[in-house]
Amino acid sequence: MLHLKAEPVANEVYARVTRAAQLVREKTGHSPTLATVLVGEDPASQVYVRKKGEMCHKLGLGHRDYKLLPDVTQDVLFDTVRKLNADPEVDGILVQSPLPKGLDEAAVFDLIDPKKDVDCFSPYNVGLLSQGRGTLLPCTPAGVMEILRHNKIDIAGKRALVVGRSDIVGKPMALLLLHAHATVTVAHSKTRDLAACVAESDIVVAAIGRARFLKGDLPWKKDAVVIDVGINRTPEGKLCGDVAFDEIAPKVAAITPVPGGVGPMTIAMLMVNTVRAAMLRKGISYKEL
Ligand code: NAP
């Protein structure tokens, strides 16, 4: 059984990002730059934004760090996004989710210039994604595709099951697998016979948000590839995924661990999107990125 770890995949992605960022600098004198906007003091969001900034610095990308008070008005947040949309030095805009209660998250995401929408939340980019013409791809599902590609896991013609249908993970994941020619089933909380879906699936992506929800007693195919997007904490405070790793690992061909599986790929793909956004805006081909 193969452990699909993120580290070698992320390192390969970072090497590509570094080369592409260098190309942008050589051609334009400009460093691809990410602006992060953090509203409030949610500890997990603070950690996520800090890590994104640190990665930009590590790779030689620019990082602008905007921190707004938890009681900021919608108008001030809109103004911040408008200024970043208009700023020629900013290539990518990331407004850290979730926003404090009372702020309209969808309206904020709608306002981000699609060319700078490095999270791929804007309806324009989601539309391109659904047509298979996406340029900025949603980070976590794109990271899963990198794991599959790096490990030479065939997708075309395979039966893929995505458990979860969120806008951030489940739906875009299903679309990316579909565009890679898998036959895709999407399961959710109203799905009647999840075991029957698992029984016929060659690739299973779990994005449920419930600790160890998919268990070893499901009818796993022995050559199945299991990708665990979940990040949960057990009552003891330990990090765990949406699949019961220890129970399932002996029964399948390959599986991602938590932590160290999908998680690190999200930041890696955000860096890809930041450089891609810069290349798109400067008219530089980004195909190899
Ligand atoms: P979400 O928005 O809460 O969506 C969860 C999905 O799971 C929903 O579609 C829900 O169905 C489905 N679900 C709930 N109970 C189910 C059940 N009993 N059977 C089948 N499906 C069920 O969560 P999310 O944002 O997609 O995140 C999912 C997990 O991925 C979380 O653990 C999150 O922390 C993690 N995550 C990780 C990363 C990363 O960087 N690795 C990034 C994003 C998210 P309904 O639609 O019917 O309610």
Which member of 117, 119, 202, 242 is catalytic? 119
Evaluate if residue 119 carries a pLDDT over 90. Answer: yes
Q: Which atom of ligand 1 is nearest to the CA of 242?
A: 32
Query: How far apart are the CA of 229 and the centre of ligand 1, in A?
Result: 9
Mean pLDDT rounded to a whole number for the chain:
97
Residue 286 has a pLDDT of: 85
- Average pLDDT on 195-224 reads 98
Domains and CATH numbers, the chain: 28-114 (3.40.50.10860), 139-263 (3.40.50.720)
Evaluate if residue 217 carries a pLDDT over 90. Answer: yes
Query: How far apart are the CA of 233 and the centre of ligand 1, in A?
Result: 14
Residue 158 has a pLDDT of: 98
Evaluate if residue 287 carries a pLDDT over 90. Answer: no
Evaluate if residue 234 carries a pLDDT over 90. Answer: no
Residue 185 has a pLDDT of: 98
Evaluate if residue 204 carries a pLDDT over 90. Answer: yes
Note the pLDDT tens digit of each residue in 3-37: 999 999 999 999 999 999 999 999 999 999 999 99
Residue 107 has a pLDDT of: 97
Query: Which residues surround ligand 1 with Cβ inside 6 Å?
Result: 140, 163-166, 168-170, 187-191, 194, 207-210, 229-232, 242, 262-263, 266
- Average pLDDT on 62-88 reads 98
Q: Give the residue, 286 or 256, on which the prediction is more confident.
A: 256
**Concatenated DSSP letters of the chain:** -EE--HHHHHHHHHHHHHHHHHHHHHHHS---EEEEEEES--HHHHHHHHHHHHHHHHHT-EEEEEEE-TT--HHHHHHHHHHHHH-TT--EEEEPSSPPTTS-HHHHHHHS-GGGBTT--SHHHHHHHHTT--SS--HHHHHHHHHHHHTT---TT-EEEEE---TTTHHHHHHHHHHTT-EEEEE-TT-S-HHHHHHT-SEEEE---STT-B-TTS---TT-EEEE---EE-TTS-EE-SB-HHHHGGGSSEE--SSSSSHHHHHHHHHHHHHHHHHHHHT---TT-
Q: Residues of the chain with pLDDT > 90: what percent?
A: 97
- Average pLDDT on 136-142 reads 98
